[in-house]
Amino acid sequence: MSADLRSELVALAEKVARAAGELLMDRPDSFTLTEKSSAVDFATQMDEKAEQLIVKSLLTERPNDGIIAEEGAARDSKSGITWVIDPLDGTVNYLYGLPGWNISIAAKDKEGVIAAVVNSPSIDGLWKATKGGGAFYNGKRIKCNDPVNLNLALIATGFSYDLDLRKEQGARIEKLISQVRDLRRNGAAAVDLCYVAMGAVDGYFESSLKEWDFAAGGLIATEAGALISGRTGGTPDADMVVCAGPSLHAQLLAQI
């Protein structure tokens, strides 16, 4: 795909992500919760409204594109471009009025993600990247921290809604906590990946993520110089996503 197309896609993603952010910043006084995998894994009416706005806006301008979205919107691509959308990443933060929730929008072709935007209006943060074009935070080019030794690393992580998996994650944290500077649990995967990209944390790992959780943030992180992989160093998947600068990435893989 041409650089012009990548620029066009990221500009559209930014416009739509900002519009969704305006919608979500008008936070309702009460919420309707729809249970997903468990009582603590849910969507609100605002997740659904944001997804509807995003999908409609994207397809109005690019009607032949495909869609993969967390709240169920899906269609095959006729253009070769598919949008991967998390309309409200960090729903629990949003429900409780905590910062860091975000809108994550990525565009991919058959080779992978080529344009990405993560908009977190509660912290006035917008990250974006195009494949081969670098990563940016509020218009300023960003790079991850590298090299970083494990014992000096600030590491972000998250926890699954699956209780059995949480026990495994707890054991992993118990092993790691004495070997790093500290741990952070921010509550939104896309922003955690973007924090690695801009050096606000040194590394990040989390199990049981979906494609829409890491598609946009993953490109932003890699364009900022980070590596993103699964636990064994291969393609990131539901088992584990690990993201850090090259030096720390190798050290994290050895531990988790």
Please tell me the predicted confidence (pLDDT) of residue 230. 92
Average pLDDT for residues 16-34, to the nearest whole number? Answer: 94
Task: Give the predicted TM-score (pTM) of the model.
Answer: 0.95
Average pLDDT for residues 91-114, to the nearest whole number? Answer: 96
| Confidence band for 38, pLDDT divided at 50, 70 and 90 | low
Please tell me the predicted confidence (pLDDT) of residue 239. 83
Same fold across 3-141 and 150-255: no
Tell me the CATH class for 3-141: alpha beta
Fold of 150-255: D-Maltodextrin-Binding Protein; domain 2 (3.40.190)
What is the tens place of the pLDDT at every residue in 182-195? 999 999 999 999 99
| Confidence band for 232, pLDDT divided at 50, 70 and 90 | confident
Name the residue ranges covered by the structural domains of the chain.
Answer: 3-141, 150-255
Copy the structure tokens of residue 248: 């720390």
Q: At what angle do helices 189-198 and 211-223 cross, to 10 degrees?
A: 10
What is the tens place of the pLDDT at every residue in 135-144? 999 999 999 9
* Backbone φ/ψ region at 104: left (φ over 0), alpha (ψ -120 to 50), beta: beta
Element of type H or E holding 33: strand 33-38
Q: Residue 218's beta-bridge partner residues?
A: none
User: CA-to-CA distance for 226 and 196, rounded, in angstroms?
Assistant: 7
| Confidence band for 22, pLDDT divided at 50, 70 and 90 | very high
Please tell me the predicted confidence (pLDDT) of residue 41. 63
Please tell me the predicted confidence (pLDDT) of residue 234. 86
